[in-house]
Amino acid sequence: MKTLFYLLLTLFTFEIALAQVTVKGTVTDKKGAAIIGANIYIKGTYDGASTDVNGNFHFKTDSHGEHILVVTFIGYKPIHQPVDLKAELSEFKFILEESINELKAVVISAGSFGASDEARQEVLKPMDIVTTAGATADIAGALNTLPGTQAVGEQGRLFVRGGSGHETKTFIDGMQVLNAYNSTIPNTPGRGRFSPMMFKGASFSTGGYSAEYGQALSSALILNTKDAPNHDRIDIGLMSVGMSAGGTKVNDKNSVSGKIQYINLTPYFTLIEQKIPMDKAPEALEANFAFRQQVNKDGMLKVYGNINQSSLVSQLAEIDEPNTYHRFSLENKYRYLNASYKDILNKNWSLHSGISYTLNNDIIGMDTAQVNEKEKGFHLKTVLGYDHSNQLGIKFGMEVFKRNYQQQFNSLSNQQTGSLNFDETILAGFSEVEFYASNNFITKAGLRFEHNSLNNDQLFAPRISMAYKTGENSQISMAVGQFHQTAENQWVKINPELGVEKANHYLINYQWQNEGRILRGEIYYKDYADLVKFDQNQSQQPEVYTNQGSGYARGFDLFWRDNKTFKQVDYWVSYSYLDTKRDYLNFPHLAVPTFASKHNFSIVYKHFIEKIKTQVGMSYNFASGRPYHDPNSTGFNSGKTRSYHDLSMNFSYLLRSNVIIHGSITNIPGIKNVFGYEYSNTPDESGQYNRRAITPMAPRFIFLGVFITLSKNKTLNELPNL
Amino acid sequence: MKKVIITSLLTILVISVFGNDKFEKAMKKNIELVYSADSEESYQIAINNLTRIADAEPDRWEPEYYIAFAYTLSSFDERNTDKRDALIAIAQQHMDKALNLAPDHAELLTLQGFIYTAKLSVDPATRGPKYSGMAMQKYNQALQQDPENPRALLMLGQMMYGTAQFMGSSTTEACETIGKSIEKFETYNPENEIAPTWGKGQAMRAYEQCGK
């Protein structure tokens, strides 16, 4: 007991023996401005204070001797300073340095439109894709309302800045997708194969993208699938064009989702007359599934698969004799599998690895002839990321692309058969350094290496981009780089030794953004080299096909979006100016390609009417006339179509919390749009070539659907999945 | 020898009681500061004080909980949506630290749901579908851990109320849940003196709304 007494006594005397120490001083930033609310304290104790409006602080402590004084403030680098706490302490003067902070740091906006629920600097949200009138929930349809794209109504693909549809590549979770669009009748648009609401975010790049993305000459559409869902649910959809059913099961560490969709356009085509007569309207059966597994704290495995089977039979008329028809049949088989794994290995290293497999098989019948076209593709990729600090990060990646293409031709009438095929293996590697000089200035420099087995081409593609914050809400960014892509299958199959097509991108972008309002402007220049070229007779001799084509594209884009000014209203306006010419394929000289229109304008308007729980959307698209080749006149591609207009509307009505009715209609005024003209191969008696206009299958497309969600949580609905 | 053992045991006891007392005293004072904060500055001071405690007591989830709570509350006072998102992001960082220390604690799960609700409220039209589901899930998990927890019930009830109002459907079930939370607030025994106690006033106000 005595011992305890002594002990307490010791503690007590120790307390009074040493007087408190006063710690005081100021905290400022580099420019000398006071920092208000900084935290100053002695590590391991509760003793400390916050700075006042003048950046001053002072506090008393019972601690003595060697300690660490800590100074912190959000957005600044902390200071840890050793101090010797004794009675007479001189005043401290702390100067805090800004830290690189992802919430504050500038983001490169040149060439890229981001779409995500989360990030601040995003232009579009995944939901916007679904609710854009005229897009009919098609990713490409919605992105076509952004600047940099050209309306090419007979294709339904993304044509970016004077590039053809094949020059835009789609990636899912970093992995390549081949044949991202449904197969259709020639000169009718194919829808994208992937539902926009599978994705938590998308980045649509119209140029100058990262060294990570290869085999894309003009544009990269980078889609990231959603993470693990958090509720069990069943979704049922009844549509004017078919039906769907899906389910999600969530377990502790993993989740499984599946969906089956059956589309049959027979009833629709019976009601609404189509330009091309159909023996069998398009019919498709699609199944897709997604599996998510949380492997460890940060490690996530994602598997996604898509199986699609579709067919149609139609009658195509001859140009010279519109009453003579030829049977055209199309059967398409599509398989896509994507597995990717992402993990944070330790404080500095992260890993992203994946594999994708695509199989696309089109069996096309024309009268008694048949073409069987099959493409298989593998993509393997591993990326290691090293974060040295918030300021500096490096990425290294290795990739293998393997592709096999086969085309078989059989003609029953004259017993002809033939086949064309090729195999391609691309080995690629890339590295990219990201450096923040400050929160206001970022530089990204990358280098990509590729070796192509077809032609033994080896190439190095440097790419660099920078962004500088010019004010709190404004920034300037630029990007320069070299881009490559293997030529289109239809040429490579004839001459597998064709070299890689090349393009250089140069762009400068200005962006102003303030809470719900964005203004963007971008100027660009692209020069194309090594494009495929052949003589006008289109012979099947391989040596006729060379890489002597070239071209250029230049122009500017403007974009304005505002969801702030008017309550419950969101709208955006885009304008693109394009000046492009190419001397490629069978062009006799530099000429504007048929898919290029000089002016593109679109306006998208969305209004949520709370009273009737309905979102109403409208969009208007305009494209100036496109060239077409008229063999009856002199000159190449000298004809010009009239301009294109489309006014579309849609609505989504929440009938009950788990029931949604969705409807949309395109081209309300019924404008007769002409995309171009097809000409007969032979002249008639008077020496004239007959022609036929390329127009949509029907003036309008009308869609109606009811979507029901069943779950324990009654508030869930299909709105985000439409 | 015996004496030595007793003495050292007593010393440990004295120091730990003394230490604990100091922790609780400091926490109580600062929890009050969080509850009474009404400006950016007053939140910052409370957050700074709690940060010091968190730094000195790395094994306790409470300081991190109240820091996350303070940042979340302060986000509702901010009008600039970018800044709101930034505050919520910091709240989430502290939430993660707290969850690392006590992963299945009902109060933490409730606060996590509240943080999702805050994120939702920045942009309800776009974030509604995703974050309402995430928040609901957390409130339900919290109630699984502690069916008596009044805060989890209140939050759940409020989320149900908001959704029902948006859909124009009946708010009866939501109001019943809020009413039940008021009962639980009366009877709930916090696990210790620094455990969360907030929400009763909010529950009363929400319940009054229900009558209208």
Domain boundaries, chain A: 2-96, 112-721
Selecting from B56, B126, B168 the residue whose C-beta is nearest the C-beta of A46 gives B56
pLDDT in tens, B69-124: 999 999 999 888 888 988 999 999 999 999 999 999 999 999 999 999 999 998 88
Backbone phi and psi for residue A629, each to the nearest 5 degrees, phi listed first = -90, 125
Same domain, B169 and B155: yes
pLDDT computed for residue A85 by the predictor: 87
- Per-residue pLDDT of A348-374, as tens digits, reads 999 999 999 999 999 999 988 999 999
**Residues B127 and B55 reside in one and the same domain:** no
Q: How confident is the model at residue A88 (pLDDT cuts 50, 70, 90)?
A: confident
Residue B143's pLDDT band, with cuts at 50, 70 and 90, is very high
The reported pLDDT for the residue numbered A538 is 63
Class of domain A112-721 (CATH, top level):
mainly beta
Q: Alpha-carbon distance A513 to A436, whole Å? A: 21
Find residue B114's DSSP bridge partners: none
Indicate if the pLDDT at residue A23 is higher than 50: yes
Residue A137 is predicted with a pLDDT of 75
* Cβ–Cβ < 8 Å for A578, A600: yes
Question: Residue A611's closest chain B neighbor by CA?
Answer: B168
Report chain A's mean pLDDT, rounded to a whole number.
Answer: 89
Q: Which of residues 7-46 of A touch B (CB under 8 A)?
A: 7-8, 11, 36-37, 39, 41, 43-46
* Contacts with A70 from chain B: Cβ below 8 Å: 55
- The 10 Å Cβ neighbour count of residue A90 is 7
CB-based burial label for A311 (10 Å; 0-12, 13-18, 19+): middle
How does pLDDT run across A223-277, given as a tens digit for each residue?
Answer: 888 888 877 889 999 999 999 999 999 888 899 999 999 999 999 999 998 989 9
Residue A614, pLDDT > 50, answer yes
Which tops the pLDDT comparison, A321 or A123?
A: A321
Which residues of chain A neighbour B129 with C-beta distances below 8 Å?
716-717, 719-720
Decide if pLDDT at B21 tops 90.
Answer: no
User: What ipTM does the predicted assembly reach?
Assistant: 0.85
CATH architecture entry for A2-96: Sandwich (2.60)
Asked if B103 has any chain A CB less than 8 Å from its own CB, the reply is no
Tell me which of B44, B75, B103 is where a domain ends.
B103
Query: pLDDT band at A721, cuts 50/70/90?
Result: very low
Question: What is the percent of chain B where pLDDT is above 90?
Answer: 62
In tens, the pLDDT along B147-187 reads 999 999 999 999 988 888 877 778 888 999 999 999 999 99
Q: Categorize the per-residue pLDDT at A720 as very low, low, confident or very high, splitting at 50, 70 and 90.
A: very low
Is B163 in Cβ contact with A230 (below 8 Å)? no
Q: Is the pLDDT of residue A712 over 80?
A: no
B108 and B198 share one domain: yes
Give yes or no for A720 touching B (CB within 8 A): yes
Final residue of a structural domain among B103, B138, B163: B103
Q: How far is B60 from chain A (nearest CA, A)?
A: 14
A70 reaches B (C-beta below 8 A): yes
Full residue range of the structural domain in which residue B112 is found: 104-212
Contacts of B168 in chain A (CB under 8 A): 613
Q: What is the pLDDT of residue A719?
A: 45
Asked whether residue B28 falls in the same domain as residue B63, the answer is: yes
B10 and A8 within 8 Å at the Cβ level: the answer is no
Query: Do B10 and B112 have their domain in common?
Result: no
Confidence of residue A18 (pLDDT cuts 50, 70, 90): low
Q: Residue A51: closest CA among chain B residues belongs to which residue?
A: B45
Nearest by CB to residue B48, choosing from A7, A39, A719, is A39
pLDDT in tens, A269-282: 999 989 899 999 99
Q: pLDDT tens digits for A309-339?
A: 999 999 999 999 989 999 999 999 999 999 9
- pLDDT score for A555: 97
Within this chain, do residues B111 and B201 fall inside the same structural domain, yes or no?
Answer: yes
Q: Are strands A39-42 and A48-50 parallel, antiparallel or unpaired?
A: antiparallel
Residue B17 confidence (pLDDT)? 52
Residue A643 has pLDDT above 50, yes or no: yes
Q: Are residues B38 and B3 in the same domain?
A: yes
Give mean pLDDT, residues A440-462: 94
Q: What is the dihedral of CA A137, A222, A401, A503, to 10 degrees?
A: 110
Q: Is A473 helix (H, G, I), strand (E, B) or coil?
A: coil
Q: What is the pLDDT of residues A92-117, one digit of tens each?
A: 999 999 888 776 778 878 777 776 65
Residue of A nearest to B19 (CA): A45
Number of domains, chain B:
2
DSSP one-letter string for A52-63 = -TTSEEEEEES-
CB contact under 8 A, B48 and A716: no
**Are both B66 and B134 inside the same structural domain?**
no
Q: Residue B187: which CATH number?
A: 1.25.40.10
Instruction: Report the percent of chain A where pLDDT is more than 70.
Output: 94
